[in-house]
Amino acid sequence: MTHLGETLKFLLRYTIAGLALAFLVVALRPEWLPRTMAPASALRPASYADAVQVSATAVVSIFSLRSARADDGSERQLITSLGSGVLMDPGGYILTNLHVIQDASQIRIQLTDGRVAEPRLVGIDSLTDLAALRINLSGLPTIPLGRSDTLRIGDVVLAIGNPFGLGQTVTQGIVSATGRGLGLSLIEDYIQTDAAINVGNSGGALVNARGELIGINAASLEPSLQPYGLSLPEGIGFAIPVNLARGVMAELIEHGRVLRGWLGVQAIELSPGRAAVLGLSGGGLELTEVYPDSPAHEAGLRPGDILTDIDGQRVLLRANALNLIARLKPGSEVRIAGMRGDQRFERTITVVARPD
């Protein structure tokens, strides 16, 4: 018993010492303790039902009736096209893609509550493939508006629309890229996503995880790309950023069309090799044509001039330069800089409205 008692005393002594040491660590050096990471599932919502609830009622189905030739080309027939649209304000203004309603002889809007209305065409903008419609109904839902300029790669997005005429459908994905250009429209700044955007989704809403509108869904672009010898794999969709779409809609409501700035030039992007020869490590745009009597012509610009800056912003891509000029109001001034031979030049030019 004496031996057993000594053993128990020994174990108890070291147990108390260990507990005391642990207490000191917790009290004096808590940063030494291992931190438990929250599981990934705890960092994201288990459901996006709230986001859908605040946005989906503002997404409408659009049915367009148009005349088209039969496949054999023998006679014309009436066909119904499907699409979607987004109610932007309580006044009944709807934003959709132009190709959804283009050349339609009759258009019908169906709300999620079952009501049907015939809209009035407010205006179209072929350069962005957008159109504004208006319906005269009371108690209309509207979608919360977000910002597309704060999007990050990897943000969760939801695409809401009427694919294949199945009724309203929601698909989920992430922002895969921003600022995409596909060469399909003159003004492009697409959001790329892996959320499924199918036929009938065109003109529908791309919303963030809070249900705020961040883009207008574009159609399946693969058929349009065939003439360019391109093919898009499945799982790639595109949407027009809400910041661009809102500006277009405001112009359509006020003027029936979009008034854009215009200089009157055509340009191509400098290849890296040519830019190096010219000593322009940052690149630039070479003017290939200056239209007679245009603002650029009156400012003395010539084919062969290299454009490097617009209002202090370096321009490397043709699409970026086009967007910068297009956003200017007719009558406003723009400061440009560039190179002619080995001489740098600057000009202040008053832009005019882009011709139709």
The neighbour count for residue 199, using CB atoms within 10 Å, is 16
Using an 8 Å Cβ cutoff, are 256 and 235 in contact?
no
Using an 8 Å Cβ cutoff, are 269 and 262 in contact?
no
- Where do the H-state alpha helices sit in the chain? 2-28, 40-43, 49-55, 98-101, 222-225, 242-255, 272-277, 295-298, 318-326
Instruction: Collapse the DSSP code of 55 into the 3-class scheme (helix H, G, I; strand E, B; otherwise coil) and give the result.
Output: helix
Condensed to tens digits (0 to 9), the pLDDT of residues 149-169 reads 899 999 999 999 987 767 788
Indicate the pLDDT class of residue 231, thresholds 50, 70 and 90.
Answer: very low
Q: What is the pLDDT of residue 282?
A: 72
Residue whose C-alpha is closest to residue 66's, from 99, 105, 98: 105
Residue whose C-alpha is closest to residue 219's, from 193, 201, 195, 244: 201
Give the C-alpha separation, 95 to 123, whole Å: 10
In the residue annotation, 297 being an active-site residue is answered as no
Q: What is the pLDDT of residue 100?
A: 92
In the residue annotation, 176 being an active-site residue is answered as no
Q: What is the pLDDT of residue 9?
A: 60
Which of 125, 129, 189, 305 does the annotation list as catalytic? 129
Give the C-alpha separation, 281 to 274, whole Å: 10
What's the burial of 216, exposed, middle or buried (CB within 10 Å: 0-12/13-18/19+)?
Answer: buried
Cα 186 to its chain centre, rounded Å, is 15
Give the C-alpha separation, 217 to 205, whole Å: 6
pLDDT higher than threshold 70 for residue 32: no
Instruction: Collapse the DSSP code of 90 into the 3-class scheme (helix H, G, I; strand E, B; otherwise coil) and give the result.
Output: coil
Q: What is the pLDDT of residue 67?
A: 80
In the residue annotation, 224 being an active-site residue is answered as no
Q: What is the pLDDT of residue 229?
A: 43
Is this model's pTM higher than 0.85 or not?
A: no
Average pLDDT, the chain: 82
Domain ranges of the chain: 54-134, 156-253, 261-353
Domain 54-134 -> CATH class: mainly beta
The mean per-residue pLDDT over the stretch 291-309 comes to 93
pLDDT higher than threshold 90 for residue 203: yes
336: its two tokens? 């440009």
Using an 8 Å Cβ cutoff, are 201 and 86 in contact?
no
In CATH, the architecture of 261-353 is: Roll (2.30)
Q: What is the pLDDT of residue 5?
A: 56
Condensed to tens digits (0 to 9), the pLDDT of residues 232-261 reads 455 688 899 999 999 999 999 998 988 888
Residue whose C-alpha is closest to residue 177's, from 243, 242, 239: 239
Residue whose C-alpha is closest to residue 328's, from 259, 265, 267, 264: 259
Q: What sign has the CA pseudo-torsion 211, 214, 219, 220?
A: negative
Q: Say what percent of the chain tops pLDDT 90.
A: 47
Choice among 31-45, 135-149, 190-204, 294-308 with the minimum mean pLDDT: 31-45
Residue whose C-alpha is closest to residue 200's, from 61, 68, 59: 61
Which of 55, 61, 99, 294 does the annotation list as catalytic? 99
In CATH, the architecture of 156-253 is: Beta Barrel (2.40)
pLDDT higher than threshold 80 for residue 188: no
Which of 61, 148, 176, 202 does the annotation list as catalytic? 202
Tell me whether the CATH fold assigned to 156-253 matches the one assigned to 261-353: no
Condensed to tens digits (0 to 9), the pLDDT of residues 72-106 reads 666 677 888 889 999 999 999 999 999 999 989 99
Give the C-alpha separation, 57 to 170, whole Å: 12
